[in-house]
């Protein structure tokens, strides 16, 4: 079992999950232990989801790596994250988009939103909102990138609408225990959905 963040990232590289050098460098900088509850710090570097309270989890590191690589965030991008959790994914996106970029993270559960805000205090280009992430944030749209960290029965229409031309969205679609990662792209005003054939399990996206 990896016993440090460096060892965890080395492991992800070794098994072939983490191949993008830029994402690798950022995941080495963002220590997962800073986003795990105190009582689970000893398990922070295990490549599996961990509970963070209120029935929610912090994603497994390999899943964070895979989704981030498919998302391909660039410097200066405006990114929407649905399902902030404890803030780990938002922190990685924050560093990837840089000082000129912005990350807007939406969390449905107020207690977790408060946790994310606390954990993300040193990431000034991230803003955490409490609300129904399936509706996006129309007041801040459109977004260059959208990442959904919970399983949806289908790609929510508001998120499609809020995706910028040429933008990318990565979202798990299907049953929470047996979803597939879907890449959504907007090209010439059309939405193109591609099944990435990467099975995954996530907590469900709750929609009003």
pLDDT in tens, 29-61: 999 999 999 999 999 999 999 999 999 999 999
Contact present, 120 and 87 (Cβ < 8 Å): yes
3-state SS, residue 123: coil
| Entry pTM | 0.96
Q: How far apart are the first and last CA of the chain?
A: 40
Mean pLDDT of 163-192: 96
- Asked if the model's pLDDT at residue 156 lies above 70, the reply is yes
> Residue 207 pLDDT more than 80?
no
Domain chopping of the chain, boundaries:
48-200
CB 104 within 8 A of CB 79: yes
Question: Which of the four CATH numbers 3.40.640.10, 3.30.230.80, 3.40.50.150, 3.90.700.10 does domain 48-200 have?
Answer: 3.40.50.150
Residue positions annotated with a catalytic role: 59
* Predicted local distance difference test score (pLDDT) of residue 159: 98
- Return all residues near 143 (Cβ < 8 A) that are at least 6 apart: 78, 79, 80, 104, 136, 162, 163, 164, 167
CA distance 115 to 166: 33
Q: Which helix (H) or strand (E) holds 111?
A: helix 110-119
User: If you compute the radius of gyration of the chain from its CA atoms, what whole number of angstroms results?
Assistant: 16
The C-alpha atoms of residue 155 and residue 66 are separated, in whole angstroms, by 19
Percent share of the chain, pLDDT over 70:
100
* Residue 41 backbone phi and psi in degrees, to 5: -55, -35
pLDDT in tens, 79-138: 999 999 999 999 999 999 999 999 999 999 999 999 999 999 999 999 999 999 999 999
- The whole-number pLDDT of residue 43 equals 97
pLDDT tens sequence across 64-94: 999 999 999 999 999 999 999 999 999 999 9
Q: What is the dihedral of CA 92, 70, 25, 74, to 10 degrees?
A: -70
């Amino acid at each position: 079992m990896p016993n440090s963040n460096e060892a965890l990232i080395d492991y992800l590289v070794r098994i072939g999950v983490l191949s993008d050098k830029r994402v690798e460098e950022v995941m080495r900088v963002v220590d997962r232990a800073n986003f795990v509850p105190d009582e689970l710090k000893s398990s922070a570097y295990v490549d599996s989801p961990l509970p963070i309270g209120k029935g929610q989890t912090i994603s497994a590191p390999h899943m964070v790596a895979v989704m981030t690589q498919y998302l391909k965030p660039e410097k200066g991008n405006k990114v929407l994250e649905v399902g902030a959790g404890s803030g780990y994914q938002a922190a990685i996106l924050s560093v990837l988009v840089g000082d000129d970029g912005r990350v807007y993270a939406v969390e449905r559960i107020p207690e977790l939103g408060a946790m994310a805000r606390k954990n993300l205090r040193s990431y000034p280009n991230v803003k955490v909102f409490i609300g129904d992430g399936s509706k996006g944030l129309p007041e801040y749209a459109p977004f260059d990138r959208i990442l959904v960290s919970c399983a949806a029965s289908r790609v929510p229409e508001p998120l499609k609408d809020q995706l910028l031309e040429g933008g990318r969205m990565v979202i798990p679609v299907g049953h929470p225990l047996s979803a597939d990662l879907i890449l959504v792209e907007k090209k010439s005003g059309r939405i193109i959905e591609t099944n990435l054939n990467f099975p995954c399990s996530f907590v469900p996206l709750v929609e009003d």
